[in-house]
Amino acid sequence: MTTTYPDLSAEEAAAIIDHVNEDHPAKLLLLARAFTPAPAPVSTGNNVLDFIGTLLGAITNNQMQDPARSAYDRKVSDLQGQGYALQQTRQTNTGFVGTLVKGGSTVTVTVDRGANRTVRVNVSETTTYRY
């Protein structure tokens, strides 16, 4: 006997992910711990992504990276290519914040997970001039 499942629309899939993230976050992390060798999966705020990443990592030996971290790493790498030096990185509840410097310029990179599974990257620069 073969079981077939209907294809979900993007809206239906988003509704399911939102429901599971909001109502069952602890259970997803317990499932990840039960079905993988990961000692203690850590929540990044998107528990469905954490669960899938943990499972994929166990299968492929390659952990799936948080999209906010990936966007942050790309932006920092771009700035380092322009001669900026990374001074500080910290994780926030919604993403990552970093500070880079070059001469009298300080750049702050802020990456936040937004609504509807989006990532927002904000780069602000402050330059100090002597007069």
Does 70 have pLDDT greater than 80? yes
User: Quick one: average pLDDT of 82-105?
Assistant: 93
Of 12 and 62, the structure prediction assigns the larger pLDDT to: 12
Bridge-based pairing of strands 85-91 and 119-127 is unpaired
So what's the pLDDT on residue 8? 65
CA nearest to 123, candidates 92, 104, 99: 99
Return the sign of the alpha-carbon dihedral for residues 47, 53, 55, 57: negative
**Over the chain, what is the mean pLDDT?**
77
Whole-model pTM?
0.54
In a domain, 104, yes or no: yes
The answer on 44 and 72 residing in a single domain is no
Q: What domain range includes position 112?
A: 67-127
- Residue 28: CA count within 13 A, CB half-sphere: 23
Does 43 have pLDDT greater than 60? no
What CATH number has the domain bearing residue 111?
A: 3.10.450
Which residue in the block uniquely carries the two structure tokens 């992910």?
Answer: 17
The answer on 74 and 114 residing in a single domain is yes
Confidence of residue 20 (pLDDT cuts 50, 70, 90): confident
What proportion of the chain, given as a percentage, has pLDDT over 90?
A: 31
The answer on 78 and 46 residing in a single domain is no
